[in-house]
Amino acid sequence: MMHAKQTLTMKSQQGITLVLVSLLMLILIGMAAFVIDLNHQVLNKTRLQNAVDAAALASAVVADKTSNVYASRSAAIDTLNSYVAESGNAELVDLLGVNASGNSFDTVNANITFSTDLQTFVTAEAFVAPTGTKYDIYTRVVVDSVPLTQYLSFIFGGDKDVSASAVAGRSASIQTTCNIAPVAMCGNPALTDETAWGYIPSNYPNYDSTRDKVPDTIYAIKPSSHQNGELGPGNFQLLDLGLNGKDGVRDAFAGATENCITAGQAIDTETGKGTGPVAQGINTRFGDFTGPTEEGETVKSDKYIEESNVTESNYKDIYENNKPGAFYYADYYQKLNSCIEGNSCNSQYYDADGLEGRRVLQVPIIDCSSSTGGKQTVTVLGLGCFFLTQKVKQQGNDSEVIGQFLYDCGINNGSTGIDPSDNGLFRIQLYKDPLGNGAS
């Protein structure tokens, strides 16, 4: 009798063990399903986020350059397509709604919208540009709730999908940047950065350098005589940024150095005219490498080098009366883009291998109100943009640097302020999506 009870107990224990093993297997399968599907979801979320980040940045660059939201939308689409074509991103074909027949982006799974206030986003068709004021365009790219392949998680039910969104546009004004030109513009410290310390004409508060041709924006930033400058005897508006004398000045004007500067910083002036080094450095931006500075990856000609033909003594008359010889940034902008787009183009001025924007210098705007002449220390009020309208002659009495003050200009890097309405240098950057990540 005792033997029968022992046999029954062992059989009962074997049944319990089978149940426990089954439960354990179910748990292990669940964990495997979770790990496999979670890793797959995270991987594709990262891929998708990288794609929409790049698309938003590319779109914002085009919107900033052209104010054309349709061209901007096309830039976002082209960028998404380029991500699909990259090795390892095959699943993005399904995520982004690409047609299997032709690798052509389909906006079924994506939403590309635009805003001027970082709050209200509308489609390109519904976008209306504000009138009577300057504005920035921000791009939002969203791919929302796209389902993924479920490997094991389908056993437990539930959905598996990914979403991503990105917003990009102009940054606030740059407060610190590098590759600064070693030349300064004297600003009015009593005025604010909203008028660029006096350089934005009061009668053109919404001056757009890509469109408007305003004679009051043309200056001789480096005079041919110190008597014409605002820093006093011995000064030609040049700066000592810790460079190697006039050789350093030449390299900095060519863009071959990294000279960093911050708004509010105290800097020293560089006395002397520096005729040869200044001309040799600046003229590389026009494809003229007659000096010791060699052409390189970043030291290249601009893409478009048509120029004005004026002097310090006659430029005011020529620009104010719209006489032959004047050349504005608006001319450069329109003619360069015509060449790039394959339209009308004067090939003698166009260099397809050049770098667009090389003729735009980043310059400090300084307080010259207490200038004493000679080598002196001055305070940086802020940073501005100066378009070189012509090459510099390597002649003492005709070595002035003439150009146009721009409302603002883009750079690749630098630390920013916090007010998006600031003027001056800026960069295109990503913003936190104000409408939520992936919510369309």
Taking only the tens place, the pLDDT of each residue in 79-138 is 888 887 777 676 666 656 554 444 444 545 678 999 998 889 999 999 998 887 778 899
Gap between the Cα atoms of 152 and 32, Å rounded: 8
pLDDT at 64 over 60: yes
Amino acid 100: pLDDT = 41
Amino acid 155: pLDDT = 57
Mean pLDDT of 46-73: 90
Amino acid 291: pLDDT = 86
Looking at beta carbons, which pairs linking 68-72 to residues 24 or more positions away fall under 8 Å?
69/114, 69/124, 69/127, 69/137, 70/124, 72/114, 72/124, 72/137, 72/139
Of 132, 186, 137, 176, nearest to 386 (Cα)?
186
Amino acid 413: pLDDT = 65
| Contact criterion met (CB below 8 Å) for 392 and 279 | yes
Residue with tokens 């787009």: 341
Q: How far is CA 295 from CA 179, 183, 254, 274, 282, in A?
A: 17, 22, 10, 21, 13
Task: Tell me the chain's radius of gyration from C-alpha atoms.
Answer: 30
pLDDT at 154 over 70: no
Amino acid 153: pLDDT = 58
Amino acid 428: pLDDT = 86
pLDDT at 288 over 50: yes
Mean pLDDT of 143-169: 73
Q: How far is CA 122 from CA 131, 135, 158, 434, in A?
A: 17, 15, 32, 14
As a whole number, the mean pLDDT across the chain is 82
Range list of β-strands (E), 309-394: 360-367, 377-388
- Return the structure tokens found at 235: 């000064």
Amino acid 66: pLDDT = 85
pLDDT at 422 over 60: no
pLDDT at 183 over 50: yes
pLDDT in tens, 189-218: 998 777 888 888 888 877 888 889 999 999
DSSP 286: G
| Contact criterion met (CB below 8 Å) for 183 and 405 | no
Comparison of pLDDT for 394 and 17, the residue scoring more: 394
Of 38, 64, 26, 39, nearest to 429 (Cα)?
64
3-state secondary structure of 152: coil
Of 434, 216, 211, 391, nearest to 301 (Cα)?
391
Residue 265 buriedness (CB in 10 A; 0-12 / 13-18 / 19+): middle
pLDDT at 374 over 80: yes
pLDDT at 275 over 70: yes
Amino acid 130: pLDDT = 87
- Return the structure tokens found at 304: 């478009």
- Phi/psi of residue 63, nearest 5 degrees: -60, -40
Gap between the Cα atoms of 115 and 123, Å rounded: 9
3-state secondary structure of 46: helix
Comparison of pLDDT for 155 and 396, the residue scoring more: 396
Q: How far is CA 32 from CA 42, 46, 156, 322, 340, in A?
A: 15, 21, 12, 75, 53
- List the alpha helices (DSSP H) in 362-404: none
Mean pLDDT of 387-401: 88
Of 125, 123, 121, 140, nearest to 56 (Cα)?
140
